[in-house]
Amino acid sequence: MNKETFLEELRGYLRILEDQEQEDILEEYAQHIDMKIQKGLSEEEAIRDFGSMRELAAEILEAYHVKPEFDKKSSPYQPEIKWNKMKDTGKQFRKMGSFLKNKTKACIQGIRKCFHWCGRKCRALALWVWKPFSKAGTETKGAKTEEAFIHMQDTDLTGGESGNFPVNHMERTRQTPKEEGSLNIVKTVNIAQRRKRGWISAFLRGLIKTWDLFAAFCIWWIRLFWNLLWLFMALFFGGMALITLAGVGVILVLLPQGYPMVGMLLICLGGMLCMGALCCGSYSLILRRKKEEQETEKRETEKQEIVEQETEALVPSRSDYR
Amino acid sequence: MSAITELEWRVRMNPQFKKGVLELIVLESVRKKDMYGYELVEEVSQVIDVNEGTIYPLLKRLTNEHYFETYLRESSEGPPRKYYHLTAAGILYRDSLEAEWEEFQMRVSRFLKEGKEHE
């Protein structure tokens, strides 16, 4: 132990004393050690002559009429042990946190899948309901295929599989490049049918196109509304969590002063956790939408590329449908 | 006693005794001459073997109780030293301690002598 560490350690024991007094006595010890070194002793030897640090500190405190139990409180080792304990608990908390994170991730995945499944079923139902109307509305064969194409685009936009439509089969074949032969067959059939189309189909096409635009517009607005709603909710819950956190802070200050706030503290803690969870949940809902949008965009662009290649080769008027 | 050397005697002395008379020895040392800490430690060590560290708290206590005054004086080697000077109250205290010590020592030796005479 050298002079500096000795003095610092001793200062740790003497924290109960006023700063001026600490300086005073430590100055004496520093000078004593210096003198010993001048006499030819090493730093180590000079310090060893003082004996046990604890006893020395106890003696100094006794000279100031300080109760000996304060010596234990002011010993510098206690806080270190506490720190270690805190580190351990911190590690445990982190482990628990990562565990919870994984579990919540899994839960969110499950909920997401559930939503996807529900969405698919709803869409299938809607298409099933729509099917008879579309059949009634379209008399000619060509128009029917048009209808099918539009529906295909619709399903692409919302990013899922439709029910038992003929389009669905086509979509599948496009997604799997192995069946390129069958895809080409379907294509050529479609194109042959389109050449036969009359003015009714043209009219219907226009009608369906405007309807499509309107639907897209509606979807855009609904999506915007949805995102804004959840953004607002996330901000609201986050704000509430912060307010309850501030409340917890205030109560923690008031509690030691004797205010009967234990119930309030529990309420605030619960509120904080609840609000935090709701905030995270709301935010994750926004993210989910964004991801889906990206996926559908990607899929759409892929589809468009395929359609473009085919239209360039065969029918120039196909570009209307995109 | 003659078998034990002076040094051995200083070391062997009962620590409880040492503690009791340390205050008197310190007061007497400072009465003879104003001293700084280290000098005082050396002086006291010649009489009784004592942990060097324990003298500083004692000096501090006696200063707080106004038996000592302190002042700084430049030294040729190193920083200025803090000198201890015995105050009037310190002299009175020293005298009372000395009287106590004489009385104590007298009573104890008389008791021991009586014990030897009874044998």
Cα gap B118→B53, rounded to integer Å:
44
Q: Are A161 and A120 contacting, i.e. CB atoms less than 8 angstroms apart?
A: yes
CATH of B6-118, picked from 2.60.120.260, 1.10.10.10, 3.40.50.800, 3.40.50.10470, is 1.10.10.10
Question: Each residue's pLDDT tens digit in chain A (322 positions)?
Answer: 788 888 898 888 888 888 888 888 888 888 888 888 888 888 888 888 888 888 888 888 887 777 666 645 444 444 445 566 676 777 888 888 888 888 888 888 888 888 888 888 888 888 887 776 665 545 444 444 445 555 554 544 444 444 444 444 444 444 444 444 445 555 555 555 555 557 778 888 888 888 888 888 888 888 888 888 888 999 999 999 999 999 999 998 888 888 888 888 899 999 999 999 998 888 888 755 555 666 676 777 777 777 667 666 665 544 445 4
Residue B45 has pLDDT above 50, yes or no: yes
| CA A230-A231-A234 angle, 5° bins | 80
Cα gap B114→B111, rounded to integer Å:
5
Q: Are A14 and A28 contacting, i.e. CB atoms less than 8 angstroms apart?
A: no
B61·A25 Cβ contact <8 A: no
3-state secondary structure of A42: coil
Of A58, A75, A92, which one is at a domain's C-terminal end? A75
Q: A228 is in which domain, residue-wise?
A: 138-321
Residues A4-10: contacts with CB under 8 Å, at least 24 apart: A6/A33, A6/A47, A6/A50, A6/A53, A9/A53, A9/A76, A10/A53, A10/A56, A10/A57
Q: Where are the alpha helices (DSSP H) in A40-140?
A: 43-48, 53-63, 69-73, 77-137
B78·A38 Cβ contact <8 A: yes
Cα gap B28→B44, rounded to integer Å:
10
Pairing of strands B35-36, B68-73: unpaired
Which site among B11, B55, B59, B60 would you substitute to test the A interface, given the most A Cβ atoms closer than 10 Å to its Cβ? B60
Please name the residues in contact with A295: beta carbons below 8 A apart, sequence gap of 6 or more: A159
Task: Please state the ipTM of this predicted complex.
Answer: 0.79
pLDDT value, residue A235: 92
Distance of CA A285 to the CA centre of its chain: 10
Q: How far is B1 from chain A (nearest CA, A)?
A: 27
Chain A hits for B79, CB-CB cut-off 8 Å, are 31
Which tens digit of pLDDT belongs to each residue from B93-109?
A: 999 999 999 999 999 99
Q: Supply φ then ψ for residue B68, to 5 degrees.
A: -120, 150
Of A60, A75, A90, which one is at a domain's C-terminal end? A75
Which stretch of B1-10, B29-38, B58-67 has the lowest confidence by average pLDDT? B1-10
Of A49, A75, A101, which one is at a domain's C-terminal end? A75
Chain A hits for B52, CB-CB cut-off 8 Å, are 32, 49-50
Task: List residues of B whose CB lies inside 8 A of any A CB.
Answer: 36-38, 41, 51-54, 56-61, 64, 77-79, 81-82
- What DSSP assignment string belongs to A294-321? HHHHHHHHHHHHHHHHHHHHS-GGGGGG
Both A167 and A41 in a single domain? no
**Mean local confidence (pLDDT), B29-57:** 88
Is A246 part of a structural domain of the chain?
A: yes
Is A114 part of a structural domain of the chain?
A: no
Q: How far is B51 from chain A (nearest CA, A)?
A: 6
Show the 3-state SS of chain B. CCCCCHHHHHHHCCHHHHHHHHHHHHHHHHHHCCEEHHHHHHHHHHHCCCCHHHHHHHHHHHHHCCCEEEEEECCCCCCCEEEEEECHHHHHHHHHHHHHHHHHHHHHHHHHHHHHHHC
B82·A64 Cβ contact <8 A: no
A28·B56 Cβ contact <8 A: yes
